[in-house]
Amino acid sequence: MYKEALWEEGNQSYQGEFILLGVADRPRLEMLLFGILLMCYLINLLGNTTIIVVSRLDPHLHTPMYFFLSNLSFLDLSFTTSVGPQMLVNFWRERKTISYGACVAQLYIFLALGSTECVLLVSMAYDRYAAVCHPLRYTTIMSHSLCFKMAAFAWFSGLCNPVIITVMTFRLPRCGENRIDNFFCEVPALIKLACIDTSLTEGVLFVSSVLFLVTPLGLIVVSYSFIVAAVLRIRSAEGRRKAFNTCASHLIVVSLFFGTALFTYLQSPSKIGHDQAKMASLFYTFVTTMLNPLIYTLRNKEVHKALRRLMKRT
């Protein structure tokens, strides 16, 4: 009944706003999701802020690995914050609306930060390749200048990527339809509102996904193929274990992030089930960004030592 009321409300709404349906027809699930996502968001804030602060304050962590990790943590913070607070507030609102301008900004920022993270994860894979395959030349290869240029390229390319798809998505005629069947403004859900053929927009989205999802993932796989070959040449079991541990956290993060993103953006929006799309969006928006700092801190002895040193100072 509640969802039907939202649909009726949509027919009477102003063109300057969208209605976010989410799971409004299932209030108990809505409250359960609110509790889970709030916990994920708070852990995200605490974990990623801790990594940024510790990496900044502890001189022992002024290395390429933690430079990129700090960038990743800042991205994860911004990525979830771009949609999280508004989504959490909407769980308690009867009218779950978002203005047209806010929807445009939310979509662009969300895509830009996601694209930046894809490229940054490639930089982190290259850093692990240099550390494992060329340990004696590592500091020379991963110079401060190169690290800065790689991070700058990730941010620049990520910020440029979503411009075209954002413009094309919002230029699609919707014939008065303004009910987004998702928790926030996302490309597949917005494309479904169009009342014309969307093949061109879906084609551009597919090309963008190949450039910023498939290509980076391919480069990461190539990097790790060299890493695996180098690890297998290490004679001692202890040496192989240490080499693997330096890469395991990054591999887990890559698997979580790219797995859900590929599922969402490489399929035609019309072929993705409503509930599947919603759950995938929640997973890579909240769960993945919450797990990233936990994965890096729980498995990382250097971060543990840095935290203890900072606590002793205070």
Separation between Cα atoms, residue 50 and residue 40, nearest integer Å: 15
The tokens for 22 are: 């989410």
What is the pLDDT, as a whole number, of residue 13?
41
Separation between Cα atoms, residue 266 and residue 165, nearest integer Å: 14
What is the pLDDT, as a whole number, of residue 252?
84
What is the pLDDT, as a whole number, of residue 73?
92
What is the pLDDT, as a whole number, of residue 269?
61
**Per-residue pLDDT for the chain (314 aa), expressed as one digit of tens each?**
444 444 444 444 445 788 888 777 787 888 898 999 999 999 999 989 988 988 888 888 888 988 999 999 999 999 999 988 888 888 888 888 889 999 999 999 999 999 999 999 999 999 999 988 888 899 999 999 999 999 999 999 999 999 999 999 999 888 878 888 888 888 888 988 888 888 898 888 889 888 998 999 999 999 989 988 888 887 777 777 777 777 787 888 888 888 878 877 776 665 665 677 778 888 888 888 888 888 877 666 777 777 777 777 76
Burial of residue 311 (CB within 10 Å: 0-12, 13-18, 19+) is exposed
CA atoms in the 13 A half-sphere facing the CB of 305:
7
Could you say which architecture CATH assigns to the domain 2-122+136-313?
Answer: Up-down Bundle (1.20)
Looking at the chain, the number of H-run helices and the number of E-run strands are 15, 3
Q: Between helices 100-133 and 237-265, what is the axis angle to 10°?
A: 160
Q: Is 18 helix (H, G, I), strand (E, B) or coil?
A: strand
% helix / strand / coil in the chain, to the nearest 5?
80, 5, 20
What is the pLDDT, as a whole number, of residue 237?
76
The residues spanned by each domain of the chain are 2-122+136-313
